[in-house]
Amino acid sequence: MVREPTVEIVVPVYNEERDLERSVRRLRAYLDARFPFHATVTIADNASTDGTQATGERLAQTVPGVGYMRISELGRGRALAAAWLLSRAEVVAYMDIDLSTDLDALLPLVAPLISGHSDVAIGSRLSSGARVRRGMKRELISRCYNALLRLTLGARFKDAQCGFKAVRGATARRLLPRVENRQWFFDTELLMLAQREGLRIHEVPVDWTDDPDSRVRLLPTALEDLRGVWRLMRAGPSRLVRFATVGIASTLAYGLIYLAMRELAAPWLANIVALVITAIANTAANRHFTFGVQGRQGAAADYAAGMTAFLVALAMTTAASEAVRTLVPTAPHIVEVAALTAANLIATMCRYIMFRGWMDARLQVMPADGA
């Protein structure tokens, strides 16, 4: 007798008492009516403080095929890791509670894992054939972030953060203990770890509708993702490639931070905040990642050189911003970002020349241990 494959779908939630029951019942009804494999649904309650726990426990007691577990600490990655490590299903998956992804994509997601063709499967809003309805701002941030992953980490997948993924159970249990991040960067780190191990990652174009009530805070999430990217890119190729990578990454990071800040502040303030953050990060990255400088010796002078580059970038981006406001007074934020990013890219090229000459001259007179 051939045993039917099992799939466990984890739904991570935080303070979702309003939508939890409706979404779980809809998902369970779909699985019972149209999904050909034995599937269970697990509500992974990520330290909710509203009525989510009571609703989740009631659903687990009254709806067949639904389970509930509570994780006492915050972090979507923490909830997923806890649920997946406990699971003994052949395939573990997750989807966001808003069910933004059309459920008809579930079978194409898990089928390559059940057949043994692939090890990891991800929904992609950026692949050919995907149909996506979301605001231009989130679309631009998503594309910038995934371009950043391709440039800095060599990612070969198109969409790292779509809330619709599946992994073979044995693969998940092997990889998860090595994933350090337990927040929003969890998805990206898991995928990069799988890619670096040579595992097969299958992408499924999805129909996806943006949730207007999303709880994701753009600026903290963007900063967390940038820290995660930096951690993963620590071991890199030649100095020239590393130097260029840092420059391109800081330019893209500038655009992401500016977009996130623009809803909260005036253009000049968003520009300064984005430039300060990326100037400091760029200097730190070049010191450690590009030139291998450790310790505090010379740090003050290095950061002073970095701030000189910051002033160049500030002058260029301020001029670009004024030009946009003069020529196109009603320009949307995306036009602002395009003009400012172009100016910042030119400033970054100037930073290459300045910083490389400064560091090469300084390293010639530093002690051999670089301390």
Handedness of CA 249, 251, 254, 260 (dihedral sign): negative
From the list 187, 207, 225, 360, the catalytic residue is 187
Instruction: Kindly report the backbone phi and psi dihedral angles of residue 172, in degrees, each rounded to the nearest multiple of 5, phi listed first.
Output: -60, -45
What integer pLDDT is reported at residue 370 of this predicted model?
A: 38
The tens place of each residue's pLDDT in the chain, 371 residues long, gives 445 789 999 999 999 999 999 999 999 999 999 999 999 999 999 999 999 999 999 999 999 999 999 999 898 999 999 999 999 999 999 999 999 899 999 999 999 999 999 999 999 998 888 888 887 878 888 888 888 888 778 788 999 989 999 999 999 999 999 999 999 899 999 999 999 899 999 999 999 887 766 656 667 777 888 888 888 876 555 565 677 778 888 888 888 888 888 878 888 898 889 888 988 888 888 777 776 676 777 778 777 777 887 888 888 888 888 887 788 777 777 787 788 878 877 877 777 667 666 666 665 555 443 33
**279 within 8 A of 306, measured Cβ to Cβ:** yes
What three-state secondary structure class fits 326? helix
pLDDT of res. 359: 64
Q: In this structure, are strands 120-124 and 131-133 parallel, antiparallel, or unpaired?
A: unpaired
Q: Are 261 and 219 contacting, i.e. CB atoms less than 8 angstroms apart?
A: yes
User: Which fold does the domain 6-209 belong to in CATH?
Assistant: Spore Coat Polysaccharide Biosynthesis Protein SpsA; Chain A (3.90.550)
For the chain, which residues make up each domain, given as ranges? Answer: 6-209, 236-363
Its sign, for the CA torsion 254, 232, 176, 143, is: positive
DSSP designation for 288: I
Q: How far is CA 278 from the centre of its chain?
A: 18
CA 167-149-239 angle, 5° bins: 130
One-letter amino acid of 71: I
Pairing type for strands 120-124 and 38-46 reads unpaired
Q: Tell me if the pTM is above 0.85.
A: no
pLDDT of residue 186: 95
Residues 6 or more apart whose Cβ sits within 8 Å of residue 257: 219, 222, 223, 273, 274, 277, 278
Q: Specify whether 302 is catalytic.
A: no
